[in-house]
Chain A
Amino acid sequence: MSVGVPRGLASSGQKLITEILHPLSAAEEPMSPGPDVTAGADQEKQEPGLTNGAPVEISSPSSASVLLSRLQLDDELEADDQDPYGSTEARDLFVTVDDPKKHVSTMETYITYRVSTKTTRIEFDLPEYSVRRRYQDFDWLRTKLEDSQPTHLIPPLPEKFVMKGVVDRFSEEFVETRMKALDKFLKRVADHPVLSFNPHLNAFLTAKDLNKRQGLALLTKVGESVKHVAGGYKLRARPAEFCAMGEYLDTFSQKLGTIDRIAQRILKEQSEYLTELREYGAVYSSWAGSEEQLQRPLEGVAGCVTTSCGALEDLSDNMSQDFLPVLREYVLYIESMKNVLRKRDQVQAEYEGRLEAAVLRKQEDRTPIPVEVEKCQDKVECFNADLKADWERWQRNKRQDFKQLLTGMADKNINYYEKCQDAWESLITLLQEKQTEDKTSETN
């Protein structure tokens, strides 16, 4: 079951549709698979490679991300409005998810997707890679990213579980929708200035066989809240901007839910209408059968109604396959963002708690403030900075995504009306010709 090249990269949300070229325009040719890359799964050190070539000395990951964010911010301030990812910074990592294939083994049946990579980054041995991955592998990647980059917003994956019997996991529609979401996920990660340098991403994109990683993943998987932050601290005062973020996310999530419900109701109505419209067209056909002079005109009308039905069906498909998934993906995104906000709160709470304890001890017996407390302070500041940068990025992405979504919706609707109009206009020509013919034969 091959779907072929995905229709446009609407999911990238970075450029206008008309400007997007398929980065793998020679996609028909088989890609050379990369060799096994045994990057250490637990490698915490990052090597951010700035595209202007100068490597930066860093001592700890936190500082690196701060530095990077600051540089990124500067870039973006100069950036073109339409290209929020900074046109001054050339993109050097392109990823695509396509070509779904069904695999049947004795144990299970599942789908894999081709993940193609094109890059000039030095972290990669080869300029091109092509591997096959299944949903599990994406899930693994996301978990690793969350664990290793807790201060960043990780884009969401499409829903993991689908009710068997309710949804056909192997239907073309489902696979296509899921694939588009996976493609979007990967592109977002690849475009993130910090996440894209994560070694797990590297492994994901290049390793022929991810199985080892999954085994490791299972072993090292622990609850997020426990991994980095000691629990049990209560937050005193959340900075206003993070409060605002939380509120915004709540409201936005609500709105999206409302719109989702409305869209679903509309889809239902549209499908009912489609049935009625088909019956309506059938009456004209049936009537044509009992007429002589009016036979062709009536059949013509029936034809136009049928065309309208087809066009409407396409419109409904678009709504359910392109529009709704985006809404739902943002709901997931919001959830994961709220999680990150909560983590941030916990980090701050821990710092505040430790600081308070340390201050008290200092007052008692002059014990100096321990280094851990300073480290906590660093953590808080880094987290805040990372979060703010990611928030801005997310807002911009969101704006682009929804702009594209709405524009796409407008395009599809225009398309629908154009198809219908064309059908009726060709009919009118026929009918008016007949009318003229009849008039002239009358007077003769």
Chain B
Amino acid sequence: MAEPEDGKRRSVTSNAESDQSGPDGSLDKAMQTEGSCLLRRMEICVSEAEKRSGRNAVSMQETFTVYLLETRSMEAIAEGLNPPPDCLWRRYSEFELLRNYLIVTYPYIVVPPLPEKRAEFVWHKLSADNMDPDFVERRRIGLENFLLRVASHPVLSNEEMLYHFLTKEHGWKEMVFETGFQAKADSRLRALNATFRVRSPHKRLVEMKHYSDGLQSHTSQLLRARTVSCYSSFSVNTNGPTVCMCLCSEWSAIEKEMGDGLQSAGHHMDAYATSIDDILEEEEHYADQLKEYLSYAEALRAVCRKHELSQFELEMASQDLVSKKQQREELATGMVRTFSLKGMTNKLFGQEAPEQREAKLNLLEELIAEGEEAVKEKTAECQEHAVKAWADILRFKDQKDKDLLEALISYALMQISMCKKGIQVWSNARECFLKM
């Protein structure tokens, strides 16, 4: 087994556990006052996965996986009681629903990502099968990680829907839909996908957007390169041994004297090839961490984009207000500042009746009042969004630095482990050769 030493591979849960244990220094002061985080009150665990079959929405038979969600009260545990956990089963799609709800409800928060929907960046499993037990197991871990991150988030952990997700097996979906978030989600999605230009962008948020693009690009490049180089690395680490084994097996059959030495060396090489498998499982874990931050990069980008959208809507509203005020001025003074068809037709065919003008003016005044209110609201909303977003981004940055440093340490340890194994196997082989 790989030497644990002082840098043993930490399970994904431990990232959140450190939040659990004491005051999290990385939290923004403002956030801390918003309430104690859920994870301190409740122990959460996604412990198992099971296959189910049933009929879906269009009455077709389907097979799917459900995950067992277990929760226990931290208070009870602290008191030394050992209460059995409350359990319920959830599908991946329900987790997705929760996440979508959170994204729409908290547009300024970098919402933790879910494990990938389909197996991507796969190299050693020939089929990227969602039913593959390894994939399911890694997904289970990813789902637990998602819940722990959400439940320890200073803002998200207070969300009621989260609490219900963890405790209310039936009827939760209906509750979520009743909030009407779906409509908001659809319209926001459409708007976000459209291209628009903002006149006065928020400098720091734009920088963050560029950073998120870079983060996305780098993590996905590493994952893709890994797909190729991992295979190659595997083959390179076994190539020398392969040659040896070849020599040995080919040869021991026809050599009298050298036979034994060659054969035992061959056995060592064989053992080496299988031991590499363990290490490659760890490399898989490193890939999972990269994947999480690849998704996190998308979430970060979304926050920046949403602010741009708000900003854009504000600018539109302001512009609209300005043009309405202009119209009012024109009507009031009769002076046409800008060319307009109305102005031309008025000139040509004469102006309208004073009563009509009066009505128009009144309407305009109303609209202007509404518009001013809207702009005020929108400005406040935009500013609040920016402030909250920036606070969460700072929190995210600290978390990312910590997590990725940990990941790099694990990766380095894994490389060392591989080297040690390589040295050992070749030293053993060398002993065999010397005895030949």
Chain A residues engaging chain B, CB cutoff 8 angstroms? 248, 251-252, 255, 258-259, 262-263, 266, 269-270, 272-273, 276-277, 279-280, 283-284, 286-287, 290, 293-294, 297-298, 300-301, 304, 312, 315, 399, 402-403, 406-407, 409-411, 413-414, 416-418, 420-421, 424-425, 427-428, 431-432, 434-435, 438, 442-443
- A to B CB contacts below 8 Å, 8 in the list: A255-B250, A266-B239, A269-B235, A277-B232, A406-B247, A407-B434, A410-B429, A414-B423
Given A301-B411, A414-B426, A431-B408, do A273 and B233 touch, yes or no (CB 8 Å)?
yes
For A428, give its contact among B26, B247, B413 (CB under 8 Å): B413
Encoded as 1 (CB less than 8 Å from any A CB) or 0, chain B from 29 to 63 comes to: 00000000000000000000000000000000000
Taking CB as reference atom, which chain B residue is nearest A414?
B426
Docked pose: A406 CA to B243 CA in angstroms: 10
Q: What residues of B have a CB within 8 angstroms of the CB of A435 in the complex?
A: 405-406, 409
Q: What residues of B have a CB within 8 angstroms of the CB of A248 in the complex?
A: 254
Contact B254 A251 (CB under 8 A): yes
Q: What residues of A have a CB within 8 angstroms of the CB of B257 in the complex?
A: 399
- B332 interface residue (CB < 8 Å to A): no
Docked pose: A41 CA to B395 CA in angstroms: 90
Contact A432 B7 (CB under 8 A): yes
Apart from the given pairs A294-B408, A420-B415, A425-B416, 12 other A-B contacts in the complex at a CB distance below 8 Å: A251-B254, A252-B254, A266-B243, A290-B215, A399-B257, A399-B258, A399-B436, A407-B434, A414-B430, A417-B423, A435-B405, A435-B406
Given A273-B233, A406-B244, do A428 and B416 touch, yes or no (CB 8 Å)?
yes
Minimum CB–CB distance for B13 against chain A, Å: 19
Q: What residues of B have a CB within 8 angstroms of the CB of A304 in the complex?
A: 412, 415
Q: What residues of B have a CB within 8 angstroms of the CB of A443 in the complex?
A: 25
Q: What residues of B have a CB within 8 angstroms of the CB of A407 in the complex?
A: 430, 433-434
Contact A270 B25 (CB under 8 A): no
Q: What residues of A have a CB within 8 angstroms of the CB of B265 in the complex?
A: 406
Encoded as 1 (CB less than 8 Å from any A CB) or 0, chain B from 223 to 245 comes to: 00110110011011001101110
Contact B416 A276 (CB under 8 A): no
Contact B232 A276 (CB under 8 A): yes
Docked pose: A293 CA to B239 CA in angstroms: 38
Which residues of chain B from 187 to 234 have any CB-CB distance to chain A below 8 Å in the complex? 211, 214-215, 218, 221-222, 225-226, 228-229, 232-233
Given A258-B246, A258-B250, A290-B214, do A424 and B412 touch, yes or no (CB 8 Å)?
yes
- B401 interface residue (CB < 8 Å to A): yes
Minimum CB–CB distance for A20 against chain B, Å: 15
Docked pose: A420 CA to B416 CA in angstroms: 8
- B420 interface residue (CB < 8 Å to A): yes
Docked pose: A273 CA to B232 CA in angstroms: 6
Contact B433 A269 (CB under 8 A): no
Contact A269 B423 (CB under 8 A): no
Contact A406 B226 (CB under 8 A): no
For A410, give its contact among B26, B228, B229, B430 (CB under 8 Å): B430
Minimum CB–CB distance for A276 against chain B, Å: 5
The list of the 9 closest CB pairs from A to B, nearest first, reads: A421-B419, A273-B232, A410-B430, A287-B218, A417-B422, A293-B401, A290-B214, A442-B25, A280-B225
Taking CB as reference atom, which chain A residue is nearest B435?
A403
Docked pose: A322 CA to B232 CA in angstroms: 23
Q: What residues of A have a CB within 8 angstroms of the CB of B426 in the complex?
A: 410, 413-414, 417
Minimum CB–CB distance for A81 against chain B, Å: 11
Contact A297 B405 (CB under 8 A): yes
Docked pose: A442 CA to B25 CA in angstroms: 6
- B6 interface residue (CB < 8 Å to A): yes
Given A294-B401, A409-B244, do A269 and B232 touch, yes or no (CB 8 Å)?
yes
Taking CB as reference atom, which chain B residue is nearest A252?
B254
- B323 interface residue (CB < 8 Å to A): no
Given A290-B215, A424-B415, A442-B26, do A402 and B258 touch, yes or no (CB 8 Å)?
yes
Contact B423 A406 (CB under 8 A): no
Given A273-B236, A432-B6, do A283 and B419 touch, yes or no (CB 8 Å)?
no
Encoded as 1 (CB less than 8 Å from any A CB) or 0, chain B from 255 to 273 comes to: 0011000000100000000
For B423, give its contact among A259, A409, A421, A427 (CB under 8 Å): A421
- B427 interface residue (CB < 8 Å to A): yes
Minimum CB–CB distance for B423 against chain A, Å: 5
- B387 interface residue (CB < 8 Å to A): no
Taking CB as reference atom, which chain A residue is nearest B427?
A414
Docked pose: A420 CA to B413 CA in angstroms: 12
- B402 interface residue (CB < 8 Å to A): yes
Q: What residues of B have a CB within 8 angstroms of the CB of A262 in the complex?
A: 242-243, 246
Q: What residues of B have a CB within 8 angstroms of the CB of A413 in the complex?
A: 240, 422, 426
Contact A417 B419 (CB under 8 A): yes
Q: What residues of A have a CB within 8 angstroms of the CB of B177 in the complex?
A: none
For A438, give its contact among B244, B254, B402 (CB under 8 Å): B402
Docked pose: A127 CA to B298 CA in angstroms: 80
Contact B416 A421 (CB under 8 A): yes
Taking CB as reference atom, which chain B residue is nearest A298?
B408
Minimum CB–CB distance for B59 against chain A, Å: 48
Given A277-B229, A283-B225, do A424 and B405 touch, yes or no (CB 8 Å)?
no
Docked pose: A163 CA to B406 CA in angstroms: 54
- B123 interface residue (CB < 8 Å to A): no
Contact B243 A263 (CB under 8 A): yes
Minimum CB–CB distance for B258 against chain A, Å: 6
- B404 interface residue (CB < 8 Å to A): yes
Contact B416 A424 (CB under 8 A): yes
Minimum CB–CB distance for A284 against chain B, Å: 8
Contact A301 B427 (CB under 8 A): no
Docked pose: A403 CA to B221 CA in angstroms: 43
Q: What residues of A have a CB within 8 angstroms of the CB of B235 in the complex?
A: 269, 273
- B163 interface residue (CB < 8 Å to A): no
Taking CB as reference atom, which chain B residue is nearest A418?
B423
Docked pose: A248 CA to B256 CA in angstroms: 12
- B64 interface residue (CB < 8 Å to A): no
Docked pose: A424 CA to B345 CA in angstroms: 80
Q: What residues of B have a CB within 8 angstroms of the CB of A432 in the complex?
A: 6-7, 409
Docked pose: A414 CA to B423 CA in angstroms: 5
Contact A283 B433 (CB under 8 A): no
Contact A276 B229 (CB under 8 A): yes
Encoded as 1 (CB less than 8 Å from any A CB) or 0, chain B from 303 to 323 comes to: 000000000000000000000
Docked pose: A431 CA to B413 CA in angstroms: 11
Minimum CB–CB distance for B228 against chain A, Å: 5
Which residues of chain B from 377 to 436 have any CB-CB distance to chain A below 8 Å in the complex? 401-402, 404-406, 408-409, 411-413, 415-416, 419-420, 422-423, 426-427, 429-430, 433-434, 436
Contact A301 B236 (CB under 8 A): no
Contact B427 A410 (CB under 8 A): yes
Given A266-B243, A294-B401, do A276 and B225 touch, yes or no (CB 8 Å)?
yes
Given A262-B243, A269-B236, A277-B229, do A428 and B7 touch, yes or no (CB 8 Å)?
yes
Docked pose: A435 CA to B403 CA in angstroms: 10
